[in-house]
Every structure is written in structure tokens, then in C-alpha cells.
Amino acid sequence: QGQSDITRRFGGLGLGLTISKTLIDAHGGHIRVQSTGKNQGATFTVELNTVERPIERDGHGEDVPADRKRDVAVTSDRRLLLVDDHYDTCLSMKRMLERRGYQITVAHSAEQAVEKVRTQEFDLLISDIGLPDRSGYELMRELRLNKRFPGIALSGFGSEQDVNQAREAGFAEHLTKPINFERLEKTIQSLLSSDS
């Protein structure tokens, strides 16, 4: 997690610890970290319960905790476009959102995203700002010329200027990396409920 500004700006979604915490929380566990300082390494301790929670299968043959069934029913018809050029973090986020019931389409560049929007309908855009072919800001401006759906900008930078730049481009929200998945999910739900 201790990355340089350039790595953080153009790196993945910053979800490593968030994914770990989400998975551990889903299993009723706890995670702790100890470190003596920057660039000194860290020790992570994970505690998990041995009692299993009741689960059911979702439509894709995956196990779904019983308390998530309601969320899946509410989100199952919502189509999200996720744009990020880092395949591993994009895949992780896609899986986490699909487990919540969203229909996720992935693009790894602004050009791919534009093509997907030409051929499909979406309820929400989630885009990294540092894309390989142009910025997420430019992507949102282009998409808003013909389509109207809310967007969430993901960035390693979170100054007031960064937030304002995202809003000026047409994004409804700006989230700073590393992304807190619970906050992302609440933001998605808020935007989709206000847009319906």
C-alpha cells in the first residue's frame, strides 16, 4: 500500500487491502496490521471463526451468504460499466460487484468503453482516471455527448481540485484510492436510486 505517487496515480484500483478486509468480514473474521514504519514491512494477522454461516447458490453456481440474497435481488437488473486498464484489480472488483448482483461489463481503455456504450445500455460508469489512451475525464465528457448516466471517478488523488475536475467532466462522485469497497457500494446504490 505504500506506493509512489506515480504508481498510485496510474496503478490499479488500490483494492488489495479492501478486498482482503471484505473477504475476511464476509467470513466473520478480523484483520490487524503492525508495522514499524514506512518501507519497513508489515505483519498482518487474520482471525477467522470456525462456525459456518448458512449459504445458498446464486444463478452462477457460486455460494452466497444468506444475508446477501436480498441485496442481489435489488441489484440484479443494474448494468455497470467498469473501466480500468489493470486486469487483476478490475477482475477482483468485477467479481465483488457481481456477488452483490450487479451485471458488470469491463473495458480496459477509453476506446473500449466508448465501443461498449455504443452497443449496450448502462446504468452507471465506474472509471479510473489514469487510462492508457486518454483520461477518465475525457472519457466521461465524450460519453455524456450522447448518453446520460451517472459516473464514479476513481483516482489516487483526492484534492478539492481533483474532485472539482471530476465533477466538471460529468462524474457524479469522486472516490480516492485505495477504494473502500463498502463506500463504493453505498455510492453506487445512492446514485442508482436517485437516477431511477
CATH number of residue 82's parent domain: 3.40.50.2300
Residues 6+ apart with CB under 8 A from 170: 140, 141, 143, 144, 151
Task: Give the model's pLDDT for residue 28.
Answer: 73
- The whole-number pLDDT of residue 98 equals 94
Q: Give the whole-angstrom CA distance, residue 6 versus residue 20.
A: 24
User: Hey, how many other C-beta atoms are within 10 angstroms of the C-beta on 38?
Assistant: 6
In a domain, 107, yes or no: yes
Residue 79 located in a structural domain? yes
Residue 74 lies in a domain: yes
**For position 4, what pLDDT does the model report?**
52
Does 170 map to a domain? yes
Number of structural domains (the chain) is: 1
pLDDT tens per residue across all 196 residues of the chain:
455 554 455 455 566 777 787 778 777 788 888 888 888 888 888 888 765 544 454 444 555 555 555 455 456 789 999 999 998 888 989 999 999 999 999 999 999 999 999 999 999 999 999 999 999 999 999 999 988 899 999 998 999 999 999 999 999 999 998 888 999 999 999 999 986 6
Round to the nearest angstrom and report the end-to-end CA distance of the chain: 37
Residue/partner pairs of 115-123 with CB below 8 Å, 24 or more apart: 116/81, 117/81, 117/143, 117/146, 117/147, 120/79, 120/81, 121/79, 122/79, 122/80, 122/81, 122/147, 122/149, 123/78, 123/79, 123/80, 123/149, 123/192, 123/195
- Confirm whether 43 is domain-assigned: no
In a domain, 41, yes or no: no
Q: What is the pLDDT of residue 117?
A: 96
pTM of the complete model: 0.66
Looking at residue 6, its pLDDT comes to 47
Task: State the CB neighbour count (10 A cutoff) for residue 81.
Answer: 23
101 inside domain: yes
